[in-house]
Amino acid sequence: MLSKDRMTDNTKTFTELFSELEHYDEDKQRKKIGETNEIIDGMNEEEFESVFTEEPFNKMHEMIEEKKMSMENAILLLKHAGYSNVLKNVWDPCFNLSSLGKKFKKMAEEEEKKEKEKNKRLLIDLCECHIFLSCSFTPELLSICVPCLLNVALNKEENEEIQKEVDLALQPLSNIKYRNFKKELFFNEIKEIIKHHQEHHNLTQLAYQSAWQFLIDRFFKDKDLEIVIVNELHLAREAARELEELMKCIDWKKKEEEMSKEEAKEEFALMRRAKTCAIYFQCCTLWNEEFVKFINSIVQVYRAAKDNHRGISDWCIYSLRNAAKNRVAKVEDLLKSGAIDAVLEEIQQSTFKDKILRKYFHFFMNISERLKEIIDDEVEEAKRKEVKKKSFEKMEENGKRRLYH
């Protein structure tokens, strides 16, 4: 845990509550875990990372082994910590390295091997905790957890409790990057989940975004699957709609530290969507008419966020830069959408750090290169037409000579 001089009010309260858990009976402990989870909600990324080191996970393992904490209560705390881990976009391997992480991995593997009396609920809980809280996974663990979570997420039963389970099963999947297993695996399942939501609107924004992030991370630079993402699942249309909806939920005059818990959640959802857009534009090139509105939505978010929410505005600039560099959007679309005007305005009004300034220069360098190509193509086309014209004139002249001789 943290030394006293580095503790904030949140980390101090969390440390005190956590250290007391082993002294309560199961019911009182569950109530105290509820209080602990409320403190976790109020933490920023730095506070969260500072308390969730190996130590508390090892301590929980010790409490479970000594019967001072039930597995149910441990999962209650871990799931909430995992959910916050995704919300706060923390990337830390401590759970993997802890004795509790190793125990959960072994339990999941043993539960999966059972042919009879398999505890499906326990397996789901173990998988959610592990994927929520981890940043690297063995192929063996993924082969257990991903099918397990997708199977939960594929449940189409219209029931409030079932829908909560569907949502929770999808959210950890955003932690699994494309390099972890073959990209073709689970394509049909995640496609079905996304299409079902588009028809029935059954998922929360975070769950829907997690499904998309899992999908895009799978299909890095795969042209065939890119066609499905763009033309069948309508990435640009869906992303534009989400960006516009989320924009309305945020008071852009407030700074990040002034936002309520609910506003912070909306801001995170917008940040994550902007980041996914940047990743898409980095690795894909397919374009259709829906991208004009998509680019315009990114520009609108950028303009709204640039004063008080630089994290969001930076991801918007990455998206625009990648779209220009990777030729997803046509130059005329970047003009129509206001992307070029927005970046010009920002350069004229602001003072930047070198890193930020380079992003803007990269954007205009890419636009400049593409305009030069267009001009070169037009010059070549003009030359081709001139040669063709002269050829016809020459042929016509030769024809007339033959006629008179």
pLDDT single digits (tens) 155-214: 999 899 999 999 999 999 988 875 555 666 788 899 999 999 999 999 998 899 999 988
- Residue pair 175/148 in contact by the 8 Å Cβ criterion: no
Helix (H, G, I), strand (E, B) or coil at 273: helix
> Looking at residue 384, what is its pLDDT?
54
- What are the tokens at 24? 């309560």
8-state DSSP, 254: S
- Residue pair 55/15 in contact by the 8 Å Cβ criterion: no
- Residue pair 191/228 in contact by the 8 Å Cβ criterion: yes
Tens digits of per-residue pLDDT, 365-385?
Answer: 666 666 665 554 444 555 556
HSE (side-chain half, CA atoms, 13 Å) at 149: 31
Tens digits of per-residue pLDDT, 34-43?
Answer: 999 999 988 8
- What are the tokens at 205? 């924004």
- Residue pair 355/310 in contact by the 8 Å Cβ criterion: no
- Residue pair 236/288 in contact by the 8 Å Cβ criterion: yes
Q: Based on the number of CB atoms within 10 Å of its own CB, is 302 exposed (0-12), middle (13-18) or buried (19 or more)?
A: buried
Tens digits of per-residue pLDDT, 82-134?
Answer: 988 888 877 766 898 899 999 999 999 999 998 888 899 999 999 999 999 98
> Looking at residue 391, what is its pLDDT?
45
* Cα–Cα distance measured from residue 169 to residue 131, given in angstroms and rounded to the nearest whole number: 10
Q: Write down the pTM of the prediction.
A: 0.82
8-state DSSP, 67: T
State the residue for tokens 């509790």: 100
- Residue pair 378/331 in contact by the 8 Å Cβ criterion: no
Alpha helices for 134-234 (secondary structure H): 139-153, 160-170, 187-200, 205-218, 223-227
Instruction: Evaluate if residue 4 carries a pLDDT over 60.
Output: no
